[in-house]
Amino acid sequence: MAKIIVVTSGKGGVGKTTTSASLSVGLATRGFKTAVIDFDIGLRNLDLIMGVERRVVYDFVNVIRGESTLNQALIRDKHHKELCILPASQTRDKDALTEEGVAAVLEELGKSFDYIVCDSPAGIERGAQLAMYFADIAIVVTNPEVSSVRDSDRMLGLLSSKTKRAEEGRAPISEHLLLTRYCPKRVSNGDMLSLSDVNEILAIPLLGVIPESPAVLRASNSGVPVIDDTESDAGQAYADAVARLLGEDVPFRFLEEKPHWIKRLFSFKERETV
Amino acid sequence: MSITNVFNRISNHFKRTPDSAKKAKERLQIIIAHERGQREQPDFIAQMQKELLDVIAKYVPINRDDVRIELERVDGCSILELNVVLPQQD
């Protein structure tokens, strides 16, 4: 049976789709058969971030309505052979997603995949509810900013009450915090909530900290998930988060301000003389 | 640009702005504690509060904000607290 991961946040624009894309690529790179589903019906975007927008023929809603088979709708990623993408539909029908339909798709995917990553839409409407409903693991994407932290806390409330695990009284969803767009410099200036501030308020285990990085926009511009930019800080931070998700003990990086260029120059000189 | 203007701009540049992250944290702690408290209340509380208010308003002129209902859970025992501030009699 596949593990179902929901990537959620409440607030929009904090990096859910970026995270879903990088996480699923990371899991597939590790050899796990992974499917990533876009639950944002009407506002499909995961396909763009993954660079498969021109290969969409059928979508999630087509499968639910029986207009195509799951196999027809799944897009096999050309760069990661263990990865498949199920795009969202662009329909404006708000009731396109049904609990039974989503359950059936997840069950069928569960037979052949190790991980199913559900990219939740923003808000707390049906798409967001269904993205989290069947989850075993939740990744709460949060920016170090008041409205994002508050919305994340609200999502934690929903995760502990409005999910299948909660309703059936089974072991609760395992919740993880992923802090994104983190600027160590602004934190040390006192202009941004620190990791420990957010940790203290939300009080769930930390999966990763992704630094604010130009690599993220570069990645979305080119349709290559940022985790594949292995040179970049954000890409490496996502790779660390994937490792932690798989139970590895990886130290946190990119939490400190980069030293000033003059300082770096001197440390370089020092190294050379040794 | 006058001399004082230039001076102000320079001095503003070196002035440390207050620690806004600290303020953010304090505000978040308060609002989140409040919202977590409400989260544990069953959905009917809001409806019940409205109906109770309607009943009371039938007999006494009161303000909507003068009725507070809180459900507290202490050691598996639920306490429903109803707090009504009646207007002063003339």
- DSSP secondary structure string, A53-91? GGG--S-HHHHHTTSS-HHHHPEEPSS-TTEEEEPPP--
Give dist(CA A230, CA A20) in Å, integer: 17
* Residues of A with Cβ-Cβ distance to B41 under 8 angstroms: none
Residue B79's pLDDT band (boundaries 50, 70, 90)? confident
Q: Determine contact: B15 vs chain A, CB below 8 A.
A: no
Say how far residue A1 (Cα) sits from the centre of its chain: 21
Report the gap between the CA of A157 and the closest CA in chain B (Å): 7
- CA–CA distances in Å: residue A37 to residues A20, A84, A105, A212, B22: 9, 9, 10, 25, 38
Is pTM beyond 0.90? Reply is: no
Q: What is the pLDDT of residue B78?
A: 77
Q: What is the pLDDT of residue A269?
A: 57
CB–CB contact A157 B36 (8 Å)? yes
Q: Quick check: A51 and A110 in contact, CB under 8 A?
A: no
Q: What is the pLDDT of residue A274?
A: 46
Structure-token pair, residue A112: 């052949």
CB–CB contact A194 B21 (8 Å)? yes
Q: Determine contact: A190 vs chain B, CB below 8 A.
A: yes
CB–CB contact A191 B32 (8 Å)? no
Indicate whether B39 pLDDT > 90: no
Q: Which of A153, A191, A201 sits opposite B21 (nearest CB)?
A: A191
Q: Quick check: A99 and A133 in contact, CB under 8 A?
A: yes
Q: What is the pLDDT of residue B12?
A: 66
User: Which 3 state secondary structure label does DSSP give A13?
Assistant: coil
CB–CB contact A150 B17 (8 Å)? no
Residue B90's pLDDT band (boundaries 50, 70, 90)? low
Residue B68's pLDDT band (boundaries 50, 70, 90)? confident
Structure-token pair, residue A129: 């509810």
Q: Which of B22, B24, B39 sits opposite A157 (nearest CB)?
A: B39
Counting one residue from A and one from B, how many pairs have CB atoms under 8 Å apart? 41
* Residues of A with Cβ-Cβ distance to B28 under 8 angstroms: 146, 149-150, 193, 201
CB–CB contact A150 B31 (8 Å)? yes
Residue A178's φ and ψ, nearest 5 degrees, are -120, 110
- CA–CA distances in Å: residue A2 to residues A33, A83, A116: 9, 14, 7
Q: Determine contact: B21 vs chain A, CB below 8 A.
A: yes
Give dist(CA A174, CA A171) in Å, integer: 9
CB–CB contact A149 B27 (8 Å)? no
Indicate whether B40 pLDDT > 90: no
Q: What is the pLDDT along chain A (274 residues), one digit of tens a residue?
A: 899 999 999 999 999 999 999 999 999 999 999 999 999 999 999 999 999 999 999 999 999 999 999 999 999 999 999 999 999 999 988 789 999 999 999 999 999 999 999 999 999 999 999 999 999 999 999 999 999 999 999 999 999 999 999 999 999 999 999 999 999 999 999 999 999 999 999 999 999 999 999 999 999 999 999 999 999 999 999 999 999 999 999 999 999 987 777 777 776 655 555 4
Mutate to test the interface with A, among B13, B23, B32 (most CBs of A within 10 A): B32
A142 exposure class (CB count in 10 Å sphere: 0-12, 13-18, 19+): buried
* Residues of B with Cβ-Cβ distance to A150 under 8 angstroms: 28, 31-32, 35
